[in-house]
A and B are shown apart, each in its own frame.
Chain A
Amino acid sequence: MKPGTRLKSVADDTEVMVIRTGGGTIECGGSPMAEEKPADLAPLAADFSAGTLMGKRYVDADGQYELLCVKPGKGSLSVDGVALVIKDAKPLPASD
């Protein structure tokens, strides 16, 4: 999968843009994300329903994966069943 690919959750409204990725399965709401949204939504897994925030970047512990949330939803992001976390960025002063 190339950086820049847009993925949609099949369980909620979440959409992400892939910034960095390894070979694993990117999921939202407990189900693998897809480039096209299915007609019928999959059920939202209780363990992956903390929600996504627009404009936040989500990363794994090893720094292999980075996803930008471009549309928020009720599901939460994971790779191969391991939850991703919001990337902590120190705010910078505006420079332009």
Chain B
Amino acid sequence: MNISLLLEMAAEAAPDRVGLVCDGKRWTYAELLAAARGAYELIEQSGAQYVALLDESSEAAVIALFGAALAGVPYCPLNYRLADADLAALLDRIAPALVVGDEERVTRIAGDQGHTVLSREEFTLKAQETVPGDDRVYDMGEGIAVQLFTSGTTGTPKAAILRHSNLLGYILGTVEFASAEEDDAAIMVVPPYHIAGISAIMSSVYSNRRIVMLPAFSPEGWLKLVDAEKATNAFVVPTMLGRIIAAMETTPADVSSLRAISYGGGKMPLEVISKALALFPNTGFTNAYGLTETSSTIALLGPDDHRAALASDDPKVRARLTSLGQALPTVEIVIRDEDGNILPPGEAGEIYVRGDQVSGEYKEKSALVEGGWFPTRDAGYIDEDGYIFLSGRADDVIVRGGENMSPGEIEDVLLTHAAIADACACAVPSVEWGEAVGIAVVVREGHGAPGEDELKELIRGRLRSSRVPDKIAFVAELPYNEMGKLLRREVKKILAD
């Protein structure tokens, strides 16, 4: 099986429907398929072992993804925000590649690695003009469809690989073919090197839902494009949603066309999602939890769950607004302790997942354990009704005198304080305990900073005394990466000073 099937089926069922809008240009499914086939020929001629993209989102991402699939060569979008030396090292690991995008930069930092480099415009134009030779045979898709380098916050970036069978397993299991109406349009802002950017292309194409690309995110640009294209669907990361809400006060835009907003990629502050639910009363919100190694989403908190949680007086139901929702029907999720034993509901441990869409595979080695389970390194628990709660990365656990503590429970308590807008707990060195709790908090605008004793009392009153912080820092804001992931190691540095 090969993911190119998704585009072929869309082009067969709705050849003249517009599948993509980017920078004002509109592409039908028939045009996209023809360009993907042209790209296949360009890839074959170049002799490339990989197709890389070093660029913001554009039609080139769609053409390169499916063109690479037809050619049986992994598609490897790269993070253009990386420093030259780091990027050159990644390019070297995929040489010789057909690199689409920043020609000048690739030539300058990796000119001797044997790559074929085409600018976005050249690639798109050539792909449209080229027709595969008669003797060419499209790949049957036994192998790797996509290779994504992990962000490498803990060392050298790992090359996560997703096979055609993983990605098709995800799409066929979660998306109904041609289920979108002619007017449906999904606005896409995630960068192309993120798994959500790749799954968004595939889901939209298979459901025949028009993709509206916004190559560089700004909240004002997003609001205007939603209005202009009458977008019905959107995926955002939490930081983007926060900025969109703030911009709505000053940017007039009609966003009533939005039927569904999904979000993921980092923890959603309760305050932001509550505000969003009020500002978009007719929009269904979905929290999607997933990882690169699982071909994107493995658990969902759907629109009904959101509204029910918001309207409920039951603290257990209300708390679900901060949960990841329930596992997709096509995957299994369990929580295990350090010895690998499956834990009962309510007990925290590491989140494990398995299913067709789960690759858990790196180029170097597979991370799957016995039974095909993938240890996510995310820590959390599942309640009696199957709602999954995330408490942080397994590596973020604070070990104080042999007692394991998750930063999430401490942060949740801090965020109940009216004057605290954001909070992060992490381990700080302790002579007595090995590690102890340190917290960094952001004071809400218009409020005075609470006293250190007040915060300690708050935690002592709600959690065990071992959770009481040894060190407290007040900061203007917490460090997040561009996808909205909290950079805990940066917070550790702040607390070390």
A94 B186 Cβ-Cβ under 8 A: yes
Chain B residues 268 to 323 lying within 8 A of chain A, measured CB to CB, are: 284, 286, 288, 290, 296-297, 300, 302-303
Complex interface: chain B residues within 8 A of A56 (CB): 177
**Is B151 positioned at the interface, with any CB of A under 8 Å from its CB?**
no
CB distance from B207 to the nearest CB of A (A): 8
Chain A residues 11 to 35 lying within 8 A of chain B, measured CB to CB, are: 17, 19
Given the complex of chains A and B, what is the CA–CA distance between A71 and B203 in angstroms? Answer: 19
Complex interface: chain B residues within 8 A of A94 (CB): 186, 203, 207, 209, 233, 260, 262, 286
**Is A77 positioned at the interface, with any CB of B under 8 Å from its CB?**
no
CB distance from A24 to the nearest CB of B (A): 20
**Is B5 positioned at the interface, with any CB of A under 8 Å from its CB?**
yes
Complex interface: chain B residues within 8 A of A4 (CB): 1-2, 140-142, 164-165
Given the complex of chains A and B, what is the CA–CA distance between A93 and B300 in angstroms? Answer: 8
Chain A residues 69 to 96 lying within 8 A of chain B, measured CB to CB, are: 70-71, 89-96
Q: How many residues of A contact B (CB 8 A)?
A: 19
**Is A7 positioned at the interface, with any CB of B under 8 Å from its CB?**
no
**Is A43 positioned at the interface, with any CB of B under 8 Å from its CB?**
no
Given the complex of chains A and B, what is the CA–CA distance between A4 and B1 in angstroms? Answer: 4
Main secondary structure on chain A at its contact with chain B? loop
Interface 1/0s, chain B 207-219, versus A by CB < 8 A? 1010000000000
B286 A68 Cβ-Cβ under 8 A: no
Interface size class of B (residues with CB under 8 A): 35 or more
Q: Which of B142, B186, B260, B329 contacts A90 (CB 8 A)?
A: B329
Given the complex of chains A and B, what is the CA–CA distance between A19 and B356 in angstroms? Answer: 11
**Is A63 positioned at the interface, with any CB of B under 8 Å from its CB?**
no
Chain B residues within 8 Å of A, Cβ to Cβ: 1-2, 5, 8-9, 12-13, 140-142, 164-165, 172-174, 176-179, 186, 196, 199-200, 203, 207, 209, 233, 235, 260, 262, 264, 284, 286, 288, 290, 296-297, 300, 302-303, 328-329
Q: List 29 A-B contacts (CB under 8 A).
A: A3-B1, A4-B1, A4-B140, A4-B141, A4-B142, A4-B165, A17-B1, A54-B9, A55-B13, A55-B176, A55-B177, A89-B329, A91-B176, A91-B179, A92-B328, A93-B260, A93-B300, A93-B303, A94-B233, A94-B260, A95-B235, A95-B264, A95-B296, A95-B297, A95-B300, A96-B200, A96-B288, A96-B296, A96-B297
